[in-house]
Amino acid sequence: MLASAAATLNSCSLSALPVAGSRFQRRLPAPLCSPPYLPQKMIISPCTTPAGGSGGWEGTSSVKTAVAAVDSSEPAEKLQQQATTKYYFVVANAKFMLDEEEHFKELMYERLRYYGERNKEQDFWLVIEPKFLDKFPNIINRLKRPAVALVSTNGPWITFMKLRLDRVLTESHEADSLEEALASNPVDLEFEKPEKWVAPYTKYEFGWWEPFLPPGSQKPKA
């Protein structure tokens, strides 16, 4: 009878194990399928035949190899899509953004100073007549031209600027490179000077926005 019970344990069939209260439960060693020195979630049955066809413990190398094979076999188009970056922006007509809005210049220079003090790489730019607006006909229909967009990879900050500036439109788009995301159409900006300046602060000087233009972009002419 003991030999029969031992054969049952070696078969690794849970259904054939002695039920609770059986006299064999207290006398026989634990089955090899449940080593007591391993956590239950890490137990791999020695009776399971690995992919190589031989018995024994399956290592993790075969799992890593399978994962690597899947990663390396992804289509090139999918890998390219994963490399794209999302850019958030607020946009309005250039006169409002660069010549009329009372706090925009101060907000931009404060942000630039903050990044400089912390040695952070600049991730926000002003784009005059951005090319990516062609993707948003609903925005174009509501926008006076020429237009200016504040673009950043920092979505929460763009949301803050939308609330701060108020009269702007907001959206996002994806691009494969920074050059593509900040591409613009050439345009000459001209703002009429008011006959009488009554605001308590000094009138913005023309061209204050140049430090925020994308690298290598065309600077507006006075």
Q: Write down the domain spans for the chain.
A: 85-192+199-212
Q: Would you say residue 9 has pLDDT above 50?
A: no
Q: Whole-angstrom Cα distance, residue 102 to residue 85? A: 31
Distance of CA 146 to the CA centre of its chain: 31
DSSP 20: T
| Residues linked to residue 85 through DSSP beta bridges, in sequence order | 175
pTM to 2 decimal places: 0.61
- The distance of Cα 131 from the centroid of its chain, to the nearest Å, equals 23
Give mean pLDDT, residues 89-108. 92
More confident residue, 102 or 98: 98
Q: CA angle, corner 90, sides to 83 and 101, nearest 5? A: 150
Report residue 124 as tokens: 């926000």
Domain 85-192+199-212 in CATH 3.30.70.1860? The answer is yes
Lay out the sheet containing 169-175: strands in order across: 124-128, 147-152, 85-93, 169-175
Count of C-beta atoms within a 10 Å radius of residue 7 = 10
The confidence score (pLDDT) of residue 220 equals 44
Least confident interval from 12-26, 52-66, 174-188: 52-66
